[in-house]
Amino acid sequence: MPVKEVLMIGNPELRQKSSDIIEMGKEVKDISLDLKDTLEFLQKTKNIGRGLAAPQIGYLKKIIYFGLPSESFIMINPKILYKSEETFQVWDSCFSFDVAFFVEIERHRKIEVKYKDEFGKEIKREFENDLSELVQHEIDHLFGILATDHLTDVKKIISRNEWEKRFH
């Protein structure tokens, strides 16, 4: 499938809620492949990134693709079942910001998520630390929420160049 254009912050479609996937058919396969191809392209060209949600490429459906160094997987209709009380601060960016800047936000250190894979199998999985942050970020996209919505201090915004100098 072709690489899709990523919708940028300010595009009203990014603020819409996605609908559940009812059938595991051709639509799921096509969207999943578009997400995979687009994320792999972005990882190569932007040299960053581990996940992409369907709304970011124009599909208002609850599908996320994760491409991690250790594994790749699809989440369909994810639902967070548990969030730890313990939180942590993290610098977060987004392909929908063109990865031009980062915002420091608070996320739950540990979450448990129920979702279906691309075959319709229901999975429950716990995520901690950076993976917890990543999964929360991508699930937010399915509800029209961006990382900037979690910003509590406007002084906690940093350009990518400065972030790379200081933290990477």
Residues 6+ apart with CB under 8 A from 23: none
Residues whose CB falls within 8 Å of the CB of residue 80, separated by 6 or more in sequence, listed in order: 111, 112, 113, 136, 139
Catalytic residues: 138
Are 58 and 13 a contacting pair, CB within 8 Å? yes
